[in-house]
Amino acid sequence: MPKPSQGVTVVALLADPDTPTEIAERMARRLPDRLSRKSDKGRRFDVRVVSEPVTAGSEDPPTVMRRIRERANAEDWDVVVALTDLPLHSHGRKLVVDLNHEYRLALLSLPSLGAGGCRRGPRGQWRRPSSA
């Protein structure tokens, strides 16, 4: 993983379509200022939202993390936070977050975080109830 470029850190919010992307977009509006306040003086953050499926539904967390790392390298992202609407498991337990500090990656399972207002959809993913 490349070192952040001089003065600017590229943060990718890689989100499953629908609710995870909506959450990522809300985060992206506030995140640059919050990160700048907590970091080195003069450091800026370029936060990008990428909406695409994070998991194939049957992948284990290490496989998902490897794919995220490969994508981050290809895109020259400095930090990646992936948000999925699928429940993740590791060693038979629910997984809330999988972190890799070395590569600056995080995989968040929204259902495990109790993503409020979401319910299961067709692939087992979580969605907001329709306003019908």
Please give the chain's pLDDT, 132 residues, in tens.
445 556 799 999 999 999 999 999 999 999 999 999 888 777 899 999 999 998 766 678 888 899 999 999 999 999 999 999 888 877 888 878 889 999 999 999 888 877 554 544 554 444 554 443
- Residue 34, both tokens: 């919050």
Supply φ then ψ for residue 35, to 5 degrees.
Answer: -65, -40
Helix %, strand %, coil % for the chain, to 5?
Answer: 25, 30, 40
Write down the pTM of the prediction: 0.79
- Count the alpha carbons within 13 Å of 69 in the hemisphere toward its beta carbon: 14
Neighbours of 46 (CB within 10 A): 13
What are the E-state strand segments in the chain?
A: 8-15, 44-51, 79-84, 88-90, 93-95, 97-100, 105-109, 119-120, 126-127
